[in-house]
């Protein structure tokens, strides 16, 4: 089996699993408890927080541990909107955000009366910074954008937008960096980012763990209330083992980005070139994009059919975002890019890790050459 679905989730590193098991076996105390076991768990968590903060060049106090990307996006968007609603009720996002961002915005509109501007994107899935600035009003309090598109791999001009937003000091800038972590560098301070979401299972950590970067001075209305853990921002007994494992995964993915980043890019470039030159295939991902994602369609074939046919040949890929792949509706991201409903329904996504090789890419292309004509003959 060759796994090309790393944007849905990654395989945890063995060292990460070992850390999780060891902490849960030997240091299972509640970090809030006063006894030795609790103190040791708290020390481990403090060390993990420091390691992550060091990796991002931020303060440990700016890291809030969460259960993953969805919670991080909800906390950032709803927490900032409700905290700063006295400043205004207008927010700006794009048409190609993850469902956790889209639905958070929708809920704020329907339940609390906020107004949301959803920026269009061009055929490459790119937001225009000028469009964003034109959308700003004196009521705008939040801008929320994805850094790397989870479906097509487009990289938004976050640094340029962050620099522009410095002219508007009352606007909070949130970035969903879930898909970019460990693959595409995002300097938080230089990009003027106030809130930034990460999810461990996208960089070989464990599901159910993540963190939110919150710049010092930014306030949030807590979504979870209870025992006031995480400096009151996120109540709930901390997942010590998962947090320690996440810190390990974050260190390892950054090491691999430095050591193996070039080889990953070469595999992606090889795949992209071959797919782009295949007469049966239309590639939706722009040539200059994240180094691990390629989205394409085979006209006349549904994406779901192609996914299952390739699975029979030992390859794991996906259709759209894993969160919405079972809905069987055209990808909203591709539609926003001007792709037809038929083509969007046929789209599939390859997403690589640093462990994938050129040999696997060659085998995948050979399987495609066999699968596509066979499926087309059945459709005819």
* Whether 128 is catalytic: no
CB 278 within 8 A of CB 371: no
Strands 347-351 and 293-297: antiparallel
**Cα(215)–Cα(59) distance, rounded to whole angstroms?**
9
What are φ and ψ of residue 73, in 5° steps? -65, -40
Among 282, 323, 365, 367, the one annotated catalytic: 323
Interaxial angle between packed helices 240-276 and 36-56, expressed in degrees from 0 to 180 and rounded to the nearest 10: 30
Q: Which residues of 40-52 are buried (b: 16+ CB within 10 A; e: fewer)?
A: bbbebbeebbebb
295 Rama sector, left if φ>0, alpha if ψ -120 to 50, beta otherwise:
beta
Q: Could you give the residue ranges of the DSSP H alpha helices within 284-330? A: 303-312
Q: Return d(Cα 276, Cα 297) in angstroms, integer.
A: 11
Residue 333 and residue 125: Cα distance in Å, rounded?
7
What are the backbone dihedrals phi and psi of residue 155, each rounded to the nearest 5 degrees, phi first?
-105, 120
Q: How far apart are the first and last CA of the chain?
A: 30
Report the C-alpha gap between 98 and 8 in whole angstroms: 12
CA atoms within 13 A on the CB side of 287: 5
CA Rg value for the chain: 21
d(CA 115, CA 164): 22
Neighbours of 208 (CB within 10 A): 15
Q: What gap in Å lies between CA 310 and CA 307, rounded to an integer?
A: 5
Neighbouring residues of 300: CB distance < 8 A, sequence distance ≥ 6: 346, 376, 379
243 burial via Cβ count (<10 Å: 0-12, 13-18, 19+): buried
Give the chain's largest Cα–Cα span: 71
Catalytic residues: 323
């Amino acid at each position: 089996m060759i796994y090309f679905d790393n944007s849905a989730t990654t395989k945890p590193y063995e060292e990460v699993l070992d850390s999780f098991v060891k902490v849960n076996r030997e240091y299972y105390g509640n970090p809030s408890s006063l006894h030795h076991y609790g103190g040791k768990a708290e020390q481990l968590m403090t060390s993990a927080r420091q390691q992550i903060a060091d990796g991002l060049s931020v303060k440990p106090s700016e890291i809030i541990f969460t259960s993953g990307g969805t919670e991080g996006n909800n906390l950032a968007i709803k927490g900032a909107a409700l905290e700063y609603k006295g400043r205004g009720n207008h927010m700006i996002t794009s048409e190609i955000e993850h469902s956790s961002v889209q639905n958070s915005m929708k809920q704020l509109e329907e339940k609390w009366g906020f107004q949301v501007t959803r920026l269009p994107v061009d055929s490459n899935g790119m937001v225009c910074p000028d469009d964003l600035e034109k959308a700003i009003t004196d009521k705008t309090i939040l801008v929320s954008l994805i850094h790397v598109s989870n479906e097509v791999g487009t990289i938004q001009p976050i640094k340029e937008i962050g620099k522009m937003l410095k002219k508007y000091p009352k606007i909070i800038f949130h970035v969903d960096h879930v898909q970019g972590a460990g693959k595409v560098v995002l300097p938080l301070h230089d990009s003027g980012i106030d809130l930034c979401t990460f999810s461990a299972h996208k960089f070989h950590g464990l599901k159910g763990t993540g963190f939110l970067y919150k710049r010092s001075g930014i306030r949030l209305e807590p979504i979870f209330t209870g025992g006031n853990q995480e400096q009151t921002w996120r109540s709930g007994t901390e997942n010590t083992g998962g947090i320690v494992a996440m810190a390990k995964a974050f260190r390892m993915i950054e090491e691999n980005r430095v050591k193996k980043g070039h080889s990953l890019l070469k595999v992606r470039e090889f795949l992209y070139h071959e797919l782009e030159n295949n007469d049966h295939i239309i590639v939706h991902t722009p040539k200059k994009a994240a180094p691990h994602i390629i989205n394409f369609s085979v006209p006349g074939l549904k994406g779901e059919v192609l996914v299952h046919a390739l699975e029979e040949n030992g390859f794991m890929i996906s259709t759209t975002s894993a969160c919405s792949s079972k809905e069987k509706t055209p990808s909203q991201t591709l539609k926003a890019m001007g792709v037809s409903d038929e083509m969007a329904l046929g789209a599939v996504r390859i997403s690589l890790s640093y462990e994938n090789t050129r040999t696997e890419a060659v085998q995948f292309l050979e399987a495609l050459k066999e699968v596509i004509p066979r499926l087309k003959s059945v459709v005819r």
